[in-house]
Chain A
Amino acid sequence: MSDLITVSRLCRSFGSFQAVKDVSFKVGRGEIFGYLGANGAGKSTTIRMLCGLLQPTSGSAVVAGADVARDPEGVKRRIGYMSQKFSLYPDLTVFENLDFFGGAYGLSGRALRSRIDEVLDELGLRDRSRSLTSSLPGGARQRVALANALLHNPDVLFLDEPTAGVDPASRRDFIALVRRRVAQGTTAFLTTHYMDEAEYCDRVGLMVAGCLKVLDTPSALKANHVPGALFEVRTARRGDVTAALNAIQGLATIQRIGAGLRVRYDPSPGRDRVAESALAADPDAVVEAAEASLDDVFRAVVDQEAQ
């Protein structure tokens, strides 16, 4: 068995509210698994159950060989966790934080010191070791949190919105660091609501209101879960074009992007109908077929849910 995470029919309720409903999936060794969903979809609740921090209401989950309900401490020894809120001590330096958490994982003395040096090097934090974590910029802070999660060489890394609120360049750096780790055999489970981040995952699960709606590789999701055809319309008269397009039968979604509109039209192919209406409203409009993105998958799945 090379599955490092096996989740079956996992549920969690808070009172009468079901935050996670009947979720099942598997994650293999060396995989980056992404969990995509809006705020309140149940991503953190799932991750906390997998980390042994929350008792499942029903169902089961086995992480790195340990059952999260029966052996949460066994799970904790084998995983690293970065919570969605920065949760290292702001009044301690980077070194002091790592020194403490390493100790909590049972490391001590020279072994601990050399592990701290290794992760600081790996994440480019050498010169930050004596800074208070509260004084670090967002990107460096996230890297310290990652360093902390890697101290004890875990088999599985759980990252809950690890790059929330960080600038795009730092986000790319961060993902690159995670991918490097995964290339060395660690398994990563991350949640995000950035679509571009989800693109880097081997497989992506889409969560809507506590349910895992779809789960596949990003390319398969884009191929199979965006019904109809996608177009981008560049126009200076967005209002007129929108009104005209809205009158067409079979128009699934229409959304504003940069300098124009993104349109999904189902039944496909309907390029002629879209171009016709758009040009009627604005003769200078340019209509082009567009590639499906994970964002489109997300919208299509949420729309389908709403119907």
Chain B
Amino acid sequence: MSSALYAVMRKEFRQMTRDKRMMALLILAPTLQLFVLGFAANYDVDRIETATCDSDRTAASRALRQGLLADGTFIDVGPARDCRRPGDDIRDGRAKVVLVIPDGYARDLASGRTADVQVLVDGTNPVIGRYASSAASTYLNLVSARRQLPSLAAMSAAAGAEIRVPTISVAPRVLYNPAMRSAIFMVPGVSAMVLLIVTTIATAMGLAREREMGTLEQVMVTPISRSELLLGKVMPFVIVGLFDVLLALVVGTWVFHVPVRGSLAVLGLGTCLYLLSTVGVGLLISTVSRTQQQAIMGGFFVMMPAILLSGVMTPIENMPGWLQPVTWLNPVRFFVEILRGVLLKGAGVVDLWIPFVALAAFGPAVVALAVGRFRKRLA
């Protein structure tokens, strides 16, 4: 290692460790954020507030309501306030779902007619809305099917021959995350996000701060090469980032029970490549910023789309076709693929060759671009 590169790294580490707030930002903040966001970014839907408007008031109607509320997906918030306008309870936020059982429900069932049951669902949050309507339909279809069985039996008895009703028995077996807990899926994504924010902003601000303070002028007048200076400035953040990932793994496995099925070495390699990309983006931002404020603005300008187009929040496959290719320029996307692949599926470098190659190309390219843009001159 060149003595100049080593000198820059030494200096960066000294400044970093002396600045308590910086240390908190680099070590404590990511861990806390993962802890909090891991709980917050939870797409497991249950405990959907449900009001009922039972105009039938029979044993059958009560049984229908009890059944819907049985497994905890829906919880009872009591009868709807006005059965003439059941939507009111959804509008004022008292309930997300209103079950409307009209007068005559039991009578219709008993006489073999189709009984109309209405389920009103709040679609404001599509995730909850979709889940609620599908859970309610599943339940009501099941009730309906159970109702048909005695009739079929009676029919076959009357016909004197067995009537065969073909059915498909479905037994899905869910791999990798059998309980389908969203935390296991979200925690790797949130880790990638937090790591992006911390390392990009810290590197983007580092150079801008030196420019503002005037120390960069004193550095520029030494014969240090641009790459020694810039690499020396970002390497410490790569090392801190690796440490952050280690902490994230600890929090992820202990608090959120995220499995570690693959090799830590593969994860380490992926993290190094990813961090090279994030600090490279930070460097690039700092070469176009004069002040720390501009660096922060530039950082957010880049990070917002990087996070939204990463597949952390929403699946990339659900994005419109023209937008999907944009995610190929996004290192967060690839690191999330590596994290999820290694942790949840135990995938190796060969399985994940696409994201590995992408990051191995992106990181050095963006760092080289930043070094090329940087000028050891004023104005």
Highest count of chain B CB atoms <10 Å: which of A77, A86, A103:
A103
Decide yes or no whether B261 CB sits under 8 A from chain A.
no
Task: State whether B6 touches A108 (Cβ < 8 A).
Answer: yes
Q: When chains A and B are docked, how far (Å) is the Cα of A44 from the Cα of B378?
A: 12
B218 touches A83 (CB 8 A): yes
Q: Is the CB of B10 within 8 A of A89?
A: no
Flag B1-32 by CB within 8 Å of A: 1 or 0 each.
Answer: 00110111011001100110000000000000
- Least CB distance, B207 to chain A, in whole angstroms: 14
Partner-contacting stretch, out of A91-99, A200-208, A222-230, A274-282: A91-99
Q: Is the C-beta of B155 less than 8 angstroms from some C-beta in chain A? A: no
CB distance A54 to B378 under 8 Å? Answer: yes
Q: A14-B379, A87-B213 are in contact. Are A73 and B7 (CB under 8 A)?
A: no
B361 at the interface (CB under 8 A from A): no
Q: Which of B353-379 contact A (CB under 8 A)?
A: 376-379
Chain B nearest CB, measured from A44 CB (Å): 10
CA distance A124 to B218 in the complex (A): 22
A90 to B: closest C-beta gap in Å:
8
Q: Does B219 contact A (CB under 8 A)?
A: yes
Which of the candidate stretches B167-175, B181-189, B220-228, B272-280 sits at the interface with the other chain? B220-228
Interface check B217, CB cutoff 8 A: yes
- Residues of chain A within 8 A of B223, CB atoms compared: 73, 76-77, 104-106
Cα(A86)–Cα(B220), bound, Å: 15
Given A89-B215, A91-B15, residue A100 in contact with residue B377 (CB < 8 A): no
State how many angstroms separate the Cβ of A86 from the closest Cβ of chain B: 8
B residues near A104, Cβ cutoff 8 Å: 4, 7-8, 219, 222-224, 229
Closest Cβ of chain A: how far from B1's Cβ, in Å? Answer: 10
B217 A87 Cβ-Cβ under 8 A: yes
**Is A41 positioned at the interface, with any CB of B under 8 Å from its CB?**
no
- Known contacts A77-B223, A106-B4, A107-B3; A101 and B218 CB within 8 A of each other: yes
Query: Which of B8, B19, B379 neighbours the largest number of chain A CB atoms within 10 Å of its CB?
Result: B379
0/1 per residue, B314-346, Cβ < 8 Å to A? 000000000000000000000000000000000
Would you call A100 and B379 a contact (CB within 8 A)?
no
Does B166 belong to the interface (CB within 8 Å)?
A: no
Query: Does B93 sit at the interface, judged by CB under 8 A?
Result: no
Query: Are B222 and A101 interface neighbours, CB within 8 A?
Result: yes
Shortest CB distance A56–B (Å):
11
Would B3 and A103 count as touching, CB distance under 8 A? yes
Across the two chains, which residue of chain B brings its CB closest to A132?
A: B18
Please, how many angstroms separate the alpha-carbon atoms of A287 and B19 in the complex?
62
Given A103-B4, A106-B4, A107-B3, verify A96-B14 contact (CB < 8 Å).
Answer: yes
Q: Per-residue 0/1 for A98-119: is the Cβ within 8 Å of any B Cβ (1 yes, 0 no)?
A: 0111111111110010000000
Residues of B within 8 A of A55 (CB): 377
Minimal beta-carbon separation of B90 from chain A (angstroms): 57
Asked whether any CB of chain A lies closer than 8 Å to the CB of B160, the reply is: no
- Does B150 belong to the interface (CB within 8 Å)? no
Taking CB atoms, residues of chain A closer than 8 Å to B214 are 83, 85-87
In whole angstroms, what is the CA distance A55 to B377 when docked?
A: 8
Stretch at the interface among A45-53, A171-179, A184-192: A45-53
The answer to the question of A81 belonging to the interface, with a C-beta cut-off of 8 Å to chain B, is: yes
List chain A residues, Cβ under 8 A from B11.
Answer: 89, 92, 96, 99-100, 103
Is there an interface contact between A53 and B221, defined as CB atoms closer than 8 Å? Answer: yes
A-B contact sample (13 more), CB < 8 A, given A83-B221, A104-B7, A104-B224: A14-B379, A53-B377, A53-B378, A76-B221, A83-B214, A83-B218, A89-B215, A101-B219, A103-B11, A105-B223, A106-B3, A106-B4, A107-B3
Would you give 7 A-B contacts (Cβ < 8 Å), ordered by A? A53-B220, A53-B376, A83-B221, A87-B213, A90-B213, A96-B11, A101-B222
Residue ranges of B at the interface with A (Cβ–Cβ < 8 Å): 3-4, 6-8, 10-11, 14-15, 18-19, 213-215, 217-224, 229, 376-379
